[in-house]
C-alpha cells in the first residue's frame, strides 16, 4: 500500500521521469529487521549517488519481520549505478544473514504524483 501511495496520481510530472526502487524482504526476527534497516540507513547516509533524491527502510506495523526499503531517483542511470556499486553490494552482504531469503527488488517509473 505504501508504494501505491507514493505512485498514485494527483498531478502530472513534466520533464524528467523519476524512478522508485522498492525492495521487500522478510527478516529472521524483529530485531534482525531493525538491524537490516540500520544497515541500509547507514548506507544511505554515507553514499549519496548523484541522482539520489531520498530513501527509507520501513518495517510493517502488522508484521515486525517484514521490511520495505525504497529510494527515489532522478534518473534510471543513477539508480543502475547505485545498484552496481561496491557499497550497495557490501550492504547486501551485511543484510542477507538477517533475512529469510534474498530481497525481492522492483523498479517503478513515476508517471504522476
How many domains is the chain built from?
1
Kindly indicate the confidence band of residue 16, based on its pLDDT and cuts at 50, 70 and 90.
Answer: low
- The reported pLDDT for the residue numbered 82 is 85
Q: Is the pTM of this model over 0.85?
A: no
Closest CA to 100 of 37, 17, 28, 50: 28
* Residue 94's pLDDT band (cuts 50, 70, 90): confident
Domain range holding 28?
Answer: 2-8+16-109
Q: What's the rounded mean pLDDT across residues 69-73? A: 92
* CATH at residue 47: 3.30.70.100
Amino acid at each position: 500500500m505504501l508504494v501505491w501511495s507514493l505512485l498514485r496520481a494527483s498531478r502530472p510530472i513534466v520533464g524528467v521521469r523519476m524512478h522508485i526502487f522498492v525492495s521487500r524482504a522478510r527478516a529472521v526476527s524483529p530485531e534482525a529487521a531493525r538491524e537490516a534497516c540500520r544497515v541500509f540507513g547507514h548506507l544511505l547516509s554515507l553514499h549519496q549517488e548523484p541522482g539520489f533524491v531520498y530513501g527509507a527502510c520501513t518495517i510493517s506495523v502488522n508484521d515486525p519481520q517484514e521490511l520495505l526499503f525504497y529510494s527515489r531517483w532522478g534518473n534510471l542511470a543513477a539508480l543502475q549505478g547505485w545498484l552496481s556499486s561496491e557499497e550497495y553490494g557490501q550492504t547486501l552482504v551485511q543484510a542477507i544473514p538477517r533475512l529469510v531469503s534474498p530481497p525481492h527488488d522492483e523498479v517503478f517509473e513515476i508517471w504522476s504524483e
